[in-house]
Structures are given as structure tokens and as C-alpha cells.
Amino acid sequence: MISRPKPLLALVTVLCAAIALSACGGDLHKSSIQQQVSEKGGNEALLGFPLLATKNTTRVACANPVEDAAAVATAVFPSFDAQQRPQAVTLVDSHDWRAAIAAAVLMAPPVRAPILLTDGADLPDATTRALERLRPSGTPLAGRAQAFEIGAARGGGLRHISVPSKDPFELASALEALAFRLSGQRPNDVVVTSGDDPRYAMPAAAWAAKSGDPVLFTKKDSLPADTRKAIERRDQPAIYVLGPKSVIADGVVKSLESLGRVRRIAGSGPVENAIAFARFSDGSFGWGVRDPGHGLSIANVDRPLDAAAAAALATSGSYAPLLVTDSADTVPTSLRGYLLDIQPGYQTDPVRGVYNHAWLLGDESAIDGAVQGKIDELTEITKVKLGAPQ
């Protein structure tokens, strides 16, 4: 069993959340808590604080993915000194969820460039504040570039490398090529997911950030030429198709089988699809989270760019796969069941146990405070009887 001192973990979590929230629309979050305090009054006013952090959860409590991305980047790279700063950041247009998910591969080692979101060529206030704090030093892997400008994104005068494209399939292929150029390695695993339905593609961002495996997109009924070319740059790789037949047809899988070994990872809906990916393992590929003692990230499928915002959490701290919810005010049954399956337990001393921790992306419009409380309960270490399965 792995031992982790829980009080210290909780303190670090709260401190990281405080750093992260400086990048959010702070007034919005404050007014939300103040409103709950005034409505509930008395001792119940204390319930306002867990909307930031509970003992087993941390919320990046921002109003939109632009702010969430800025908050996560500054939590992962607190930037109190030069060693805590990123060498580069990845700038992605907030109107392009496909680019954001595919660009998560640049958060993988050795680049480790967190994603920040732009409004085309303009920098939102949250992104500007994050850049002022992060002050990327420039990566020696790319001529001291401080930023990777993906698609239509622009970076306000930073030394940069631009990755333009005419469509998302070409862009994902270009990002695969850039990741190879930067790392000098071409992983033998590839993730192919839906270019039409972001709800099923979202979990791929976390894995790309953790592993360096590229994310490529397909249409439901046909394999785009640029995706095929990117796969052909490898020698018969392992191809993992993320998504059920309803979003990626068997005909596409058949086309992929001529390019490498193919396995489909799928769930009946977006929530189940993310759980299937979190559980999955095949050799060195996959999270394989089927037991307690893990970090998790949870985002709402209505905010697909939060998948890119959370990507940095997948390759640092507690290395969190991305789970999704399709409801702001309830915990989906399948998600509840999965959290119960991996809930930590102890028999004699919880200090000797392992712990789960969940990062929640977004304010109460994405994940309600009551849902955060339930997730905290489902991730809490619990006492089990001797001899009983955990």
C-alpha cells in the first residue's frame, strides 16, 4: 500500500487552488459564495467554502474554459521562481475544441507546455494575467520559442511557432508532426477519436498530455486523408479508437486495420465512454485506473474546452484521467458506480491507506455544489471490515 499523509495533501491542494483561482474571474466566484452565505445563514454559511475545496476535491471555480485553462496552468506552474515556470505555453483559439484537444500532446514531456485559450488573435484578460504570471522562458527544443500558436491563436508578441491549418484533421496531423520534431520520438500508439462529437473526444486530451501519444480525428463514416497520412508515418502502430459505433462506424475501424493493430475503447454514452477509457489498459497504453489511490479530473460535456484546460493535471501532481458528467446537478449513475468501485478503504489505520482526489472543472453552472459534496463523499477513504473486499 502507498502511504501519503492526508493533512499535507489537503493543505497543498488548497494552496494550489488559491493560486489557480487568482486566474479566474474572482469576483464572480466570490459573489457566488457570498450569495450562498446570505441565503443559508448561520452555521450553514460554512458550506460556501467547499465550493473551492473539500477534503477530497478541488474545484477550479471559473465561469468558462478560458479562465479554467488559466487557473490550471498557474496551479501546475505556480511560478514563484524560475524553476516553477514553464518553458513554453500552447495558445489555442477558444472557438476550436478539436485543436485544443489535439494540442494537449504538447503538455507531455519533454515540452510540458500548458494550454491557454485565446479569442482568435486576441488575448482574453484571464489568459493575459496567466501569461504575466507564467512568463515562459523559452524552450531550447524549439529555438527558445515561448509559445506554440495553434490554428488562429496569437500570443501577443511572444517568441512563437505557428501551426496553421485549413481543417481540424490537417491540424491534428500537423501537431503530431510537431510533437515528433520536439521530442525526437514517435510513439507507437495513436488515439483516433470523433471529430464530430466532442463529448466522446474529451478524455483523449488527458491521455495525450500524460503519454505524448497523438490525438487524431475521424469522421463518423470515413477516415480523413490527413489522419491516414499521420498514421502512415508510423510502422503499423497500435491504434486505439475512442468512441462507440454511434460516433465512429465499423467501416472506419476497418479502414484503420490496414494501417495497424486496432482496438476500440467505448462506452454507451459520453460518461460511460470516459469511464471505459479510465479503466482501460493494454500493455503500456492506458490509465488502468481500476483500484483506489488516484487523482481524477471531472468536467461537464457541455464545456469540451475544459478537457484541454484540465490536460496539465494529467501529467503532474496526481496524474488525473478525465471523467465527464452530462449533468450539472446530479452525479450520473455510471459515474457514481465507478467512483464506488475505486473508493479507497482501510482496515486498521487510514494513515497507511491510499487516497483519491478529484479536480472539478468549472463553477456551479458546470458542476453544482451539492454534486461536489457527493463526489467528495464517494472519494473519501472508508473503513472496511477485516476480510471484506475493498
- For 51-65, b/e burial (b = at least 16 CB within 10 A) is bbbbbbbbbbbbbbb
How crowded is residue 147: how many other Cβ atoms within 10 Å of its Cβ? 25
Q: What is the DSSP string of 103-125?
A: HGGGGSTTT---EEEEBTTBPPH
Give the residue-averaged pLDDT of 234-258. Answer: 97
Residue 138 reports pLDDT greater than 70: yes
Per-residue confidence (pLDDT) for residue 1, from 0 to 100: 35
Please, are residues 262 and 241 in contact by the beta-carbon 8 Å criterion? yes
Mean pLDDT of the chain: 89
51: confidence class by pLDDT, cuts 50, 70, 90: low
How far apart CA 70 and CA 20 sit, in angstroms, is 8
In a domain, 19, yes or no: yes
Give the residue-averaged pLDDT of 344-370. Answer: 95
Residue 192 reports pLDDT greater than 50: yes
How far apart CA 145 and CA 88 sit, in angstroms, is 7
190 phi and psi angles, rounded to 5 deg: -135, 140
315 phi and psi angles, rounded to 5 deg: -130, 25
Q: What is the pLDDT of residues 262-314, one digit of tens each?
A: 999 999 999 999 999 999 999 999 999 999 999 999 999 999 999 999 999 99
Higher pLDDT, 40 or 301: 301
End-to-end CA distance of the chain, in Å?
13
How far apart CA 235 and CA 189 sit, in angstroms, is 10
In a domain, 171, yes or no: yes
Residue 23 reports pLDDT greater than 80: no
The DSSP bridge partners found for residue 191 are 215, 240
Residue 32 reports pLDDT greater than 60: no
In a domain, 48, yes or no: yes
Domain coverage including residue 310: 6-383
Per-residue confidence (pLDDT) for residue 386, from 0 to 100: 65
The DSSP bridge partners found for residue 59 are 360
In a domain, 130, yes or no: yes
Higher pLDDT, 302 or 8: 302
Looking at the structure of the chain, the number of domains it has is: 1
31: confidence class by pLDDT, cuts 50, 70, 90: very low
Alpha helices for the chain (secondary structure H): 6-21, 26-40, 65-76, 97-103, 125-134, 168-183, 198-201, 203-211, 225-232, 250-257, 270-279, 305-309, 333-341, 369-379
Distance of CA 70 to the CA centre of its chain: 13
How far apart CA 67 and CA 85 sit, in angstroms, is 19
Q: What is the DSSP string of 251-303?
A: HHHHHHHTTSEEEEE--SSHHHHHHHHHH--BTTBS----SSS-EEEEEETT-
Give the residue-averaged pLDDT of 97-105. Answer: 98
Helix pair angle (369-379, 333-341), 10° resolution: 30
By C-alpha distance, which of 178, 173, 168, 189 is closest to 229?
173
Q: What is the pLDDT of residues 55-100, one digit of tens each?
A: 999 999 999 999 999 999 999 999 999 999 999 999 999 999 999 9
In a domain, 1, yes or no: no
Higher pLDDT, 15 or 342: 342
Per-residue confidence (pLDDT) for residue 21, from 0 to 100: 54
**Model pTM score:** 0.88
Per-residue confidence (pLDDT) for residue 149, from 0 to 100: 97
Mapping DSSP to helix (H, G, I), strand (E, B) and coil, where does residue 160 land? strand
24: confidence class by pLDDT, cuts 50, 70, 90: confident
In a domain, 203, yes or no: yes
Looking up cell 463529448 gives: 199
> 39-43, 138-142, 229-233 — which is least confidently predicted?
39-43
In a domain, 389, yes or no: no
How far apart CA 64 and CA 52 sit, in angstroms, is 16
Give the residue-averaged pLDDT of 153-174. Answer: 93
In a domain, 106, yes or no: yes
For the chain, percent of residues with pLDDT exceeding 70: 86
